[in-house]
Amino acid sequence: MNFNQAHGNGHRLAGKTLLDLLGNVAEEVALAENGWAEFKVMAASVSVWAAK
């Protein structure tokens, strides 16, 4: 997912680390300098991602 294209914030959050506030995904996600990141999805759950 390109966070920049999906939400327009990728450039602002580039290089930041995000975490799932609901705790469904334990791994943190690091946004690349271009706004790209790979977000895991757990079956039958939702996640709310926020900058650490």
pTM over 0.75: no
* Gyration radius of the chain's alpha carbons: 11
Model pLDDT for residues 28-44, shown as the tens digit of each residue: 999 988 878 888 888 99
Q: What does the DSSP assignment read for 4-43?
A: HHHHS-HHHHTT-EEEETTSS--S-EEPPTTSB------T
Residue-wise pLDDT for 13-28, tens only, equals 888 999 999 999 999 9
Q: Specify the pLDDT at position 40.
A: 87
Contact, 2 vs 15, CB < 8 A? no
- Please report, for the chain, the start and end positions of each structural domain, with discontinuous segments joined by +: 3-40+47-51
The answer, yes or no, to whether residue 9 has pLDDT greater than 70, is no
Q: What is the pLDDT of residue 23?
A: 95
